[in-house]
Each structure stands twice: as C-alpha cells, then as structure tokens.
Chain A
Amino acid sequence: MNWLAVKSIYRREMMRTFRTLFQSVLSPVVSTTLYFVVFGSAIGSRIESVEGIPYGAFIVPGLMMLTLLQQSVSNGSGGIYMPKWVGTIFELLAAPISWVEITLGFVGAAATKAVMIATIILITSFFFVDMRIAHPFWMVGFMVLTSVSFALLGFVIGIWAKNFEQLQLMPLLVITPLTFLGGAFYSASMLPPFWEAVTRVNPVLYLISGFRWAFFDIADVPVGASLIAVAVFLGIGLVTVWTIFRTGWRIRQ
C-alpha cells in the first residue's frame, strides 16, 4: 500500500476544491437559504409540523441528504473524469500504485467535500430553525457512509462516461429525481397508500429516513433497513470499482 500516493491524490483533489473555495461555499449557502424561504416559509406556513417536528426543521435532513448525494456523485465523477479527459490519467496508470490507492484518494476527497458542504448547510439552517440533533453520532455516521457510497458510484460514472453529457446524465436523470421522490421534503406517510408503497421502492428513501431518524427520532422505515440500504450502496460501489480496475475497463487499453 502506497499511502503517500493516496495522500498526494487526496491533497491535490482538495486543493482543486479550495481553488474555487468561494464558489464551493457560497452556492450551498445560497441554495439552502432559498430552500428555507420557499419550503420553510411558504409551505411551512401551511404544513406547520410533520409528526410533531416543525416543517422548517423537518426538511433539514432531506436538504442535507439531497446535497450530499448530488455533491458526492458529481465530485466523484468529475474527479476522475477530468484526468481522463485532459489525458493526465497516464500518470496514475504509470505510477507504482493500484486501483486501491487511486480510489481511496479520489473517493476520499469527493466524500470529504460533500460532507463539508452538507455541514455548511447544517450550520446555515441553524440560522433559520431551532432544532436538536437526537443522535449526533449516527448523523455523522450516515453522512459519511452515504457520501462515500455515492462518491464511489460517481467515480464509476466518471470512468464510464465518454463525454460531458454522459457525465451529467446519471445525476440528472436518476439521483435528483430519486431524492426528491424519496421524501426529502415530506414524510412518506403523508402520501396516499398507493404512492406511499411506490415510494418505499425508492432506495434513497431509506437513506433519508435513517438520516432523519438521527435528527429527530422519527422515521419512515426502520433504522435497520436504512443501515442495510447504506451498506448495499457501499457494496455495489466497491464491487463495481473493483471489477472495473481488475478488468481495466475503459481505463487501460
């Protein structure tokens, strides 16, 4: 194991983030504020509370999860797609490292950035709502595991994508809709029975539900199911990455 290589890749990716620090921090702050204005104030004045939680606070975990998924996937895919596109991937292939170091470096950085931004959202939301986090340890746990899993999936997308369009396709067509339909801004129990059943097929619901449980002790599905969902996402990501590098698919000619 070449830890110095992991560190180098990780540091370089983080530096890439810090080069656009302003943009990286500002955009989540702005979008969170907008969500609070739109959902918290406009809708919140009608819904008031969900299962005893003020609506403004209720949407915080969903909002964080939405950002976490989007950020992990886009950072994970962009991180590896760029060197592929610019051609600098040759350095990684010629270096005395295996896919383990490459994945740890890129995915680690992508997940870190996603967690950082989700944290910024959490901090911002304290300006708007009053809340207490019931299980802080689990909250951090869910946040880290989710961002790692989706950064891995993003990483796979980045390797798979042959152009920028494909790079944007999955997040746009799959991740964002699943998050919105996964109860980011409502509880599944608020839906009519049929739609509630449909929503339960959505794997992202399990992530949001578990995350919300960590905040408020309320959940759409049992916490155990949420944990299994995270583990499954993580497993899929790991196995796919392992397969890709073992076969050299779309990497080594």
Chain B
Amino acid sequence: MAPIIRIQDLGKTYGSGTVALNGVTLDIEEGEILALLGPNGAGKTTLISTICGLIEPTRGSVTVGGFDIRSQYRQARSLIGLVPQEVLIEPFEKVGANVAYTRGLYGKPPDPAHIEKVLRSLALWDKVNARTLELSGGMKRRVLIAKALSHGPKILFLDEPSAGVDVNLRREMWALVRELREEGTTIVLTTHYIEEAEEMADRVGIVNKGRLLLVEDKVKLMQSFGRKVLTIELTEDMAELPEGLARDGLRLESGKLVYEYDTHAERSGVARLISDISAAGLAVRDLSTEQSTLEEVFLDLVEGDKAREATT
C-alpha cells in the first residue's frame, strides 16, 4: 500500500538563517502511530507545520494521501487535523462554537452529533457552553484536540500532546489515540517523553538538528540498539571481584554481579561468564535481565550524532 504521507528531501531555512530542516525523507504508513522524538529545537514542529501548510518549505516535496501539499493543498489539507504545540485558542468563544467553526473551515456541513461525540470522548461535553478563558490549561489542550477531530481527519498531528497535561489525563489521551488508531486514523506525534513514544508508537523517528537520524519499528529499535543488563545474585554476597572473573562490562554492585552487554554484538559473553562463575566455585542464586529503555537508545543516537559532527 502506498504511504499516506510521503516526504522527500524536505528542507526549511527560516528567514533568520536557521536551518530547521535539512533534507528529511520519510514515508508514513496509513494507520500507524509514528512518534517523532528529538531535543528542543530539533525541527519537529517545523516538520509538522510544513506538512500542514503553515510553513513554506525551502526545498523538497510532500504528498498527503497522494496529493501534493502545494499544488493540491485543498485535497491534502482536508485529510489532516492538527493540534499545535502551543495552546492557541480564541479566549472569548464558547467551546462548542469553536469546535463547530473548525469543522466549517474544512468545508464540512454542521453535524452537532459528531461534535458532541468528540467533546464527550475528550470529557469536555459539560464545558460545551463555557468560554475558553474559563478552562484550565489541560482542558484548553483538549479543546484543541476536539477542534482537530471536528472534521473527521484521516491523519492527526499531535505536537507534544502531553506538555502541561497531568498523568491521568495523559493516560486518557493515550487511550483516545489508540481508539482513533483502531478506527484507522494515522497519528503522528512529537514528544519529549520517551515513555510516551515507548507506550504509544508503532514506529519511532529520531530527529536532531533538522535531520531524521532514523526511523524504525519501535520494538526493533530497542532490540537493535538495546543493551541488556544481566544481574547475577550469588548465594553469598561478594566483597570484591575475583581475579578470574574481571572483564569489560562487569562490575560489582552491592554484592551482586552486574553485567552490561550489547544484544547485537556477535558474542554477548553471557555463556562465558556463567561458566567462569561456576569454574570459580561460586553458586548462582538468581538471575535477572533488563532491557535498556528507548531513552538510552535515544541519547546514544543523539550523542553519536554530536560526536560524528565533532570529528568532521
């Protein structure tokens, strides 16, 4: 199946001279949840804003549902709902009217039942006649989501949906996003919370300095870049590491052996370690392994990017 969004060599240099996007090429598949991860100023918002038509790209092309975002902007934009990073919302307008307004902008006839459904799903129905300025920050953010969903988009962009949202609400939002995906909506979100990407995404893209460092299936990403930590508890706590055991990656931590290794190295060295332990006449009481988190993967990549830059 053709990707629903196809980005080719997209570049954006702001008037100030900042290169915010530097040749991004990316295919987004229909129905997936893609999380874009990157430090502040990486270019995530610029990337999303360009796809949505807020920013003129300096070079490259984007198609949405097969429509070019410039020459066929009407068809392309009809498919999209955008929740911006900042809470930008008219303060004096009532919630219901505001959401209905966005639907109108997309050329859809009024549909109070749909608006009610969207507002209910975001726990905003009791605020339908409240003015935005009477709402809390988290509620305003949900109003923005409601607006983005008001016209039933096929693709939803969420620029940092979790900023300023409490834990409960975040979970509810994740549930909503999953529900939307069940219904076939493609979701692109940016986040600083690696936990969020890990929890939500099918694929993760890592952005740094205007470039897409990689896009990978989340599970594969964690496997291929993952390091594992093996903790070995011996029948007796050890005071210091016996001579014969000392090796790279092994250390002693509160009496336990902690071995850190690369899962995609040719040899993990686990078997060797275990046999050495028994050769030393020690008995193992318990073993546990821990997969490294996406956060570590992410930091590794971004640090690696920095290091590469320093050498060139």
**Interface, chain A (partner B; CB < 8 A):** 2-5, 7-9, 11-12, 15-16, 19, 82-83, 86-88, 90-98, 248, 252-253
List, in ascending order, chain A residues with CB within 8 A of B73's CB: 96, 98
Pick the contact of A97: B56, B89, B100, B105 (CB < 8 A).
Answer: B105
Are B56 and A252 in touch, CB under 8 angstroms?
yes
Pick the contact of B102: A15, A91, A93 (CB < 8 A).
Answer: A91
Pick the contact of A4: B80, B84, B107, B147 (CB < 8 A).
Answer: B107
List, in ascending order, chain B residues with CB within 8 A of A9's CB: 104-105
Are A7 and B80 in touch, CB under 8 angstroms?
no
Q: Does B106 contact A (CB under 8 A)?
A: yes
Extra contacts besides A96-B78, A98-B74, A252-B54 (18): CB < 8 Å? A2-B107, A8-B105, A15-B93, A82-B90, A86-B89, A93-B54, A94-B52, A94-B53, A94-B54, A94-B80, A95-B105, A96-B73, A96-B74, A96-B105, A97-B74, A98-B73, A252-B55, A253-B14
- Determine how close the nearest CB of chain A comes to the CB of B179; give it in whole angstroms: 23
List, in ascending order, chain A residues with CB within 8 A of B77's CB: 94-96
- Determine how close the nearest CB of chain B comes to the CB of A81; give it in whole angstroms: 13
Q: Does B225 contact A (CB under 8 A)?
A: no
Are B54 and A5 in touch, CB under 8 angstroms?
no
Contact A7 to B104, CB < 8 A, known contacts A87-B88, A96-B74: yes
List, in ascending order, chain B residues with CB within 8 A of A98's CB: 73-74
List, in ascending order, chain B residues with CB within 8 A of A86's CB: 88-91
| B86, closest chain A residue (CB) | A87
Contact A248 to B107, CB < 8 A, known contacts A19-B92, A94-B80: no
Kindly list the 3 A-B residue pairs having the minimum CB-CB distance in the complex, ordered from nearest: A8-B104, A87-B88, A95-B105
Are B105 and A5 in touch, CB under 8 angstroms?
yes
List, in ascending order, chain A residues with CB within 8 A of B78's CB: 96
Are B147 and A93 in touch, CB under 8 angstroms?
no
List, in ascending order, chain A residues with CB within 8 A of B109's CB: 4
List, in ascending order, chain B residues with CB within 8 A of A15's CB: 93, 97
- Determine how close the nearest CB of chain B comes to the CB of A23; give it in whole angstroms: 14
Q: Complex: how many Å from CA A251 to CA B20?
A: 18
| B56, closest chain A residue (CB) | A252
Pick the contact of A92: B74, B89, B105 (CB < 8 A).
Answer: B105
Most buried by B among A16, A82, A83, A253: A253
Contact A96 to B102, CB < 8 A, known contacts A88-B90, A90-B84, A253-B14: no
Q: Does B15 contact A (CB under 8 A)?
A: yes
| A248, closest chain B residue (CB) | B56
Are B104 and A5 in touch, CB under 8 angstroms?
yes
Pick the contact of A253: B56, B101, B103 (CB < 8 A).
Answer: B56
Name B240-265 residues within 8 Å CB distance of A. none
Are B88 and A88 in touch, CB under 8 angstroms?
yes
Q: Complex: how many Å from CA A4 to CA B102?
A: 11
Q: Complex: how many Å from CA A246 to CA B106?
A: 21
**Interface, chain B (partner A; CB < 8 A):** 14-15, 52-56, 73-78, 80, 82, 84, 86, 88-93, 97, 100-109, 147
Are A4 and B104 in touch, CB under 8 angstroms?
yes
Q: Complex: how many Å from CA A90 to CA B88?
A: 8
- Determine how close the nearest CB of chain A comes to the CB of B63; give it in whole angstroms: 15
Q: Complex: how many Å from CA A250 to CA B61?
A: 23
List, in ascending order, chain B residues with CB within 8 A of A11's CB: 104
Q: Complex: how many Å from CA A179 to CA B102?
A: 39
Are B147 and A91 in touch, CB under 8 angstroms?
yes
Q: Complex: how many Å from CA A9 to CA B88?
A: 17
List, sorted by A's number, 21 A–B pairs whose CB atoms are closer than 8 Å. Answer: A9-B104, A9-B105, A12-B101, A15-B93, A86-B90, A86-B91, A87-B84, A88-B88, A90-B82, A90-B88, A91-B102, A91-B105, A91-B147, A93-B52, A94-B53, A94-B82, A96-B77, A96-B78, A96-B107, A98-B73, A98-B74
Q: Complex: how many Å from CA A12 to CA B96?
A: 12
Q: Complex: how many Å from CA A95 to CA B102?
A: 8
List, in ascending order, chain A residues with CB within 8 A of B108's CB: 4
| B94, closest chain A residue (CB) | A15
- Determine how close the nearest CB of chain B comes to the CB of A52; give it in whole angstroms: 49
- Determine how close the nearest CB of chain B comes to the CB of A92; give it in whole angstroms: 7
List, in ascending order, chain A residues with CB within 8 A of B89's CB: 86, 88
Are B54 and A90 in touch, CB under 8 angstroms?
yes
Most buried by B among A9, A82, A88, A95: A95
Q: Complex: how many Å from CA A92 to CA B77?
A: 11
Q: Complex: how many Å from CA A16 to CA B80?
A: 27
| A6, closest chain B residue (CB) | B104
Q: Complex: how many Å from CA A15 to CA B86?
A: 25
Q: Complex: how many Å from CA A22 to CA B105?
A: 29
List, in ascending order, chain A residues with CB within 8 A of B100's CB: 8
| B75, closest chain A residue (CB) | A96
Q: Complex: how many Å from CA A87 to CA B89?
A: 7
Are A253 and B53 in touch, CB under 8 angstroms?
no
- Determine how close the nearest CB of chain B comes to the CB of A87; give it in whole angstroms: 4
Q: Complex: how many Å from CA A106 to CA B249?
A: 67
| A3, closest chain B residue (CB) | B107
Q: Complex: how many Å from CA A15 to CA B131?
A: 13
Are B74 and A2 in touch, CB under 8 angstroms?
yes
Q: Complex: how many Å from CA A153 to CA B53?
A: 26
